[in-house]
Structure 1
Amino acid sequence: MEHVDASQATRVVGDVVAPPATDTYFQGEPGLIATFDLDYDSIIDFYTKVSWAAVLSFPPFCILSTFACVPCFLSKNVEWKARSQHVALTRDGIRYVREKHKTWCGLPCSDKGKESKTVPYDKITDCDVQEPAGAACCCFINRVLYEVHVDTASSGPGKEGQKMHELELSGLRYANEFKSAVWAIKRGEVPANASMPMGPRAEQLAAAPLQDQMSTHLLTEIRDELRQLNATMRQAPPQAK
């Protein structure tokens, strides 16, 4: 798959550039703002190495898995799982889809059904990027994938004290641009030439003032009224006071 040059991006979210995508999975879907590509080739390469390392590092499992034909389909399972993923920003939130895909030996009876999830922007408390560093599987395999962690108020500690994220995206091609676009939309900025029509939700985001701006404007008006009232009282005759 060819890498897309971010300098050729045409979609703008305020001052944030959303790179053009090659993934057409969400094409024609109502409310679509921007699709973000996953680097399938890098994802497949990394997790194939990790999976083989896990199998070979435990000989008993390696022997048993041979009888179950696991080694024959290990690489295919990684590829089927990786290429089933799709990510987009929509009017309603971050949309993540894992479409129906083959598992195990690839027989129809072992297919895994479609899964989808939408995280609303107003529920997001954090969206951060973890850049690749270090190695996996006893320092044999270098980490090469960017990780995007999306949290909401319901995110919390999971097993072994590790934090559970509302959504984890591994191998997103333009991870930092994705993060910037999410925060821009949360601020109420709408893409100049978004893939969606300017519906009520988009018009509200584009036109409505932010809450802190409304509060500042109201307090400024109250202050000015009080100053005018004080000036009037000072200028009034003593008997009028």
Structure 2
Amino acid sequence: MAAPHAMLRNVRTHRRVTAQAQHQAAAPGAAVSALGKLARRQAADAVRAHRELLKAPSNSVACQPSAHETASSLLSELKRLEVSGTCWARSPAPRTQPPRPALPEPHQHSAVNQGVALTATFVITAGQAMQVPIPVCDPNDLDLELPEYAPRSYEQEGRVLVCQGSKCRAKGAVGVLRAVSAITSGSEAVDVLPCKCLGKCREGAVLRVEHSASAKRTVYTKVSPSSLGELLDSHFATQSAVQPSPALLNECL
């Protein structure tokens, strides 16, 4: 007698829990999970009670027709719950997609903008790159047997100072010193001396010509060994004037 009433209570409780679960379908996942566990536990108790009722003698079941109706209604209710999956189906957590990174804006290229940018920077850089480098004479490759380095005889006294600073040596001052010494080796009137920096070393080898008869001193920059013969003749040769040729005047300071 107590079993049908217990089954009815379980069915009512199960329906009440089912209704609460349907009203709280939008609740967080933790609440839905708790309700699902309670519903599953109550449904298991109802099924267990129904099995015990079926194991009872047939005469006791026959005298209580309401128990069969209650059992059939319980089974139909359980099937409906299994199909719908309301009580013990855990709602999946909402998936959130990460925001997509913003795409960089495409660069706009135009010939006008490039022309404006080139006028300031590119032209200066191109001008520096187009500068002709000064040829540097390697003293080891200098051939002093050539005719332009042949010894010459000078009557006017004086001396030639060839700068041997680091910048001048890097630009061929050693070769200039050897060439001057070779050209003036046929005359004792001209002394050739290495000296410290004479200044103006940024453009090439530097030398200074001094005359003993006067206080005149002439400084030449960007000197190359091939031009030394004409330069020394313009200062110390008797037949020529003291002034250098127009080509050498461009290098005279």
TM range (shorter): under 0.3
Select the structure of larger CA radius of gyration: 2
Q: TM-score, normalised by structure 2?
A: 0.15
Give the helix-richer structure, 1 or 2: 2
Per chain length, whose mean CA-contact separation is higher, i.e. which structure has more relative contact order (CA < 8 Å, sep 6+)? 1
Give the strand-richer structure, 1 or 2: 1
Q: TM-score, normalised by structure 1?
A: 0.16
